[in-house]
Every structure is written in structure tokens, then in C-alpha cells.
Chains A and B, each alone.
Chain A
Amino acid sequence: MPVFPDAIQSLVDELRKLPGIGPKSAQRLAFHLIVAGKPAINKLISSLEEARDRVGYCSVCGNLTESDPCPICQDSKRDRTLICVVGYPKDVLAIERAGGYRGLYHVLHGYIEPLKGVGPEDLRTKELLARLGPGSPVKEVILATNPDVDGETTALYLAKVLKPLEVRVTRLARGLPFGADLDYADEVTLARSLEGRREVT
């Protein structure tokens, strides 16, 4: 293992923390940036700062946004009787890309993961219930969680909690491969499983 100057080593260490970046890619990226020079690095720094300062979470749905509430929550043309519940902001992106869905979203920021000790209270479940309180226009909640056991567990939990409320609870049609991530599903499959959603019993 070659030894780098400390500054490069700490850059490599930071890059390695990013998802999908192994030690070799981290080195490649670090050298690329340093060779690219000041202007390129400054541009990256300023876009990182901008993202840090301007992007936050929507206080209604939990999606990433520059304005609060987010453009989707503010859009008067969207169907306010429908809420689609997803695990992460990237899932909103996947469903929007698939097209066809015109309702609102609710981002849980995770799934129930008993193996990591992550329980229902650690997710944005209370916020979801608040949106469904008395006088709420919502008629249907679509549980679009990952088709793995944690996603299924989360959906079943929510279905139980939502049961006493006067709202239809549906799940995506199976058809997504078990264990696959929602945001890896291709657009046609995703659109189809949204259309073919079924009531949870």
C-alpha cells in the first residue's frame, strides 16, 4: 500500500464513506479532483455548500426540497385524496419518473428493521397519522415499500395502525422481484404495480 500525503489520505477516507465507493474508486476520484485543479474543486465545494444550505426536508411529506412545503405538496393539480408511502426520497423520484401517479407522498425515512433495532417510532409514522386526522381529504393510502421482509413488515405495521381510520389501504401489486429495491425497478414495472395495487387485508 503506497502512503499518500495526509491531505489526500483524508480525502480518500471521506470519499470511501459514500455509498458504492470502494477503496480503489475513492483513490481514483481523489486523484482526479486534485489533478483537475482549483476551479473544478471550487465548483464542487460550492455546489456541496449550496446543497447543504438550500436543501432540507418538507415538513409535510418528508421529501427533499428547497422550499417548504415542497413543490409536490403545494401543487394544486395533484390529487389530495391519495398518499403514497415510501421509505426514502429516492423512491419518490423513482415513482415520479415512472409517471402516471398524480397523488401526494409520505416519506418514512427508513423501514422497520428489527435486526438494527429500528422500530416504528424511529420512522415518520406519527406524521403520517397526523395527515390522516379528522377533516383530512385523504381517501386512500398506498403502501409502496420495498418487496423484502423489512418493507413487508413496515407495510403490515402501517396497515394495522391505519385500520381504525376511514381510509382505504392498498399495497403495490407483487411483480417487483422480492428483495429488489424500489428505485431499481424499471419504470414500466413500477407503473404497472402502482396500477395493480390491492387492498391490504
Chain B
Amino acid sequence: MTLASLYLHDFRNYAHLELSLTPGVSLFFGKNAQGKTNLLEACYYLSTLTSPRAERDLDLARWGTDRFTLGARLTEPDQTSYIRIDTIVRPALRRRVLIDDRPAKRPELVAHFPCVYFSPDDLYMVKRGSSLRRRFLDSLLSRLDPGYARELSRYEDTVTRRNAILKKAFMSSSWDKTLEGLDQILIDSGSAVLNRRLSLMSTFSGQVSDTYRFISGDECSVSYSSSLGDLSGSREDTARLFREKLASIRAEERNRGVTLVGPHRDDISITFGDKTVRYFGSQGEQRSVALALRLAEARALEERLMRKPVLLLDDVFSELDESRREKVLSLCDFGHQILLTSTDPVPIAGSNVRMYAVGEDTVKPL
């Protein structure tokens, strides 16, 4: 699959842009704040209906406008297809997604045009607390498994409601009964979320080790680490463990007014031998792990969707050393199309590289 052309209308700083692309590497360079990230963001939105950085679609419409349109032409040896997304951001969010002129939903979009977005901020996934690692896993799972997002939002809705009751100074018997019901939903949806996360991790952890070895030649291991303890049993075992845990920390939860265990408190642990990368890895090693996580994301998507994701590398190139750059670029030879941005025209050898200059709210092929 090749992203052969892109179309942006009233998206971020682009009033109107039509751009032809070729397989291999497309390098977008330009000064800061020219719209390089915006371009990759458009690709990612065409794949997932979400932005890798904006919280709301409202921020994506060009200032002074209420709607934007994105389009893509995708070619394969034997066929061409088109994606078109119209998003109205005001007064209420409304979206129309068409694949080959037929209405489509997010799972079809992801399956049709998988993309992976790499950002320098990916480093924080490795360096900081657990929430970015959970978000990474949730974002991947919601693309691999359309039912996941629904179960996760059921779980998260339950946590916020449960917390509101736990915060009450006085617990009437009717609120107490309500809490019992919420516990039941928490355990049910939480076990469903855990089940899906664990089933992903059973293959994903190996994929991360593989991609890390590919990048650095070294070993790292990745595993799911749950606030509930050891989750090696069946889904029923998990539910039982969850129930026991809740019962044992009820008093503390009442004290603190929050839900203290469950998938919203879990983590992915990444280690070199017995050392946690988060605390003991060098900056360079941490960057490689972040890159490995994204490359493993691409592999997981590819295995499920039977398509090579387009790799969107935003500003990450300048931070890699020569050998790691080559490793990443070699992925083109395995059939990945790569779009990368940089503030300077990094010299890249090879015949399959095309350069584009980004500036003055437009993009020009060189």
C-alpha cells in the first residue's frame, strides 16, 4: 500500500494543499512552526480520526473556519482507493468518513490505512510515570480491537462514578448499595479490559524485544505489571482477584476517596535484565526503547491488519545516531512507506528518497 496523494482543506495552517507522494522515504524539511507536524498529523487523522497531540478536533480546523476536509489516495499494485473525511467542529462535532465514497467507521479506516506516529515526546513513555504507557497500550488496542474502546470507556466511566461516591463524607445505605453495583460493573469491565491487554501483551512483549534488538543489538524485556498482582489465571480468576483486592482496601479507598486498584493503575514494565529502564537506562537507551515500542506497534498492526503501516517520523531523526537512522530507513526495503520531518535537509542516501520544502503554509517538492 502506498499513500500516493494527500489532500488538506482548512486543516491547521493549510488552506488548501494537494500533494503527490511516492513509495520509499518522503523527507519534509523546513524551519520551526511551518506546518511539518501538521502534515503528519493530517495523515494520522486519516488513519485514526484522532490527532496525536490535539485533545479536540476544534483545534484542527484552520483558524477562522468551522470545518476541515482531508483526503488520501492509496494505491496498491492492482487497485486504487480513496479516503475522504469531512469534520465540522462547530457548533457541534460532526464527522463524515468515506472510503471509496461509501460511509465507513473508525475500525475500517484503521484497517484500510494503518499509520504509526513517532514523536520526540515518545521518550516520556519510557522516562515518566505509568499513564503514558497505559495510553500507548490503550491506543494500540483500540485500533486492533474495535470492542476495546467501548469496554475501556465503560470501565473509566465506572471509576469516576465510584470515586464520586467514595469521596462522600457520609455514606447512606442507598449510596452504599449503589457502590456495590458499581463494584460489580468495575470488576466486569475491568476484567474485560485486563483480559484484552494481557492477550495483546502475550505477543507484543516479544515484538518489542525483537524491535529493540533490531535497533540496538541488545536485549530488553517487557511485561504487564498489574496493581492486582499476578494475573496468570483465567478471566474468572482475574475477576475473583479483583473482588478480593477491593474488599481488602475498602477502608483505604474510603480514606483517600479514589479507586486504588484496577487497570487504570497498571503499568508496562520495561527492563534490561533486572534493571528498570525508566530509572537506570541512559538517555540513548531510553530513546531506543521508545523507538522500539513504536516499531513494535507497527508490527502488531501489520500482523493483525495484513497491511504495512505508513511510518510517520516527526523530528525524531535528528536525535538518532547514524546506525539507528540506517536501521529505520531500511524499513522501506521491507515495504514500509516513511514520511519524516526535520528542520534541516538531512542527507539521506538512496534513490527512493524525495525531498519537500515546507514553508509559507505550503509544501513544495524539490
Contacts and interface: CB of A to CB of B under 8 A. Distances in A.
B174 A153 contact: no
B158 to A, nearest CB: 5
Interface in B159-175: 160-162, 164-165, 172, 174-175
Contacts of A159: 181
B196 to A, nearest CB: 15
B91 A22 contact: yes
A178 B189 CA distance: 12
Interface string B141-173: 000000000100110011011101100000010
Central interface residue in B161, B164, B181, B184, by most chain A CB within 10 Å: B181
Interface residues of A, number: 24
Contact of A120 (B91, B153, B160, B178): B178
A179 B172 CA distance: 28
Contacts of B328: none
A157 B180 CA distance: 8
The dominant DSSP class at the A interface is helix
A161 B178 contact: no
A121 to B, nearest CB: 6
Interface of B: 91-92, 150, 153-154, 157-158, 160-162, 164-165, 172, 174-175, 177-178, 180-182, 184-185
Given A119-B174, A156-B181, 20 more contacts: A22-B92, A23-B91, A113-B161, A114-B161, A114-B164, A114-B182, A115-B160, A115-B161, A119-B175, A120-B174, A120-B175, A149-B154, A149-B157, A149-B161, A150-B161, A153-B161, A156-B180, A156-B182, A157-B181, A179-B150
14 contacts: A117-B164, A121-B172, A121-B174, A149-B185, A152-B185, A153-B178, A153-B181, A153-B185, A156-B180, A157-B177, A157-B181, A160-B181, A178-B150, A178-B153
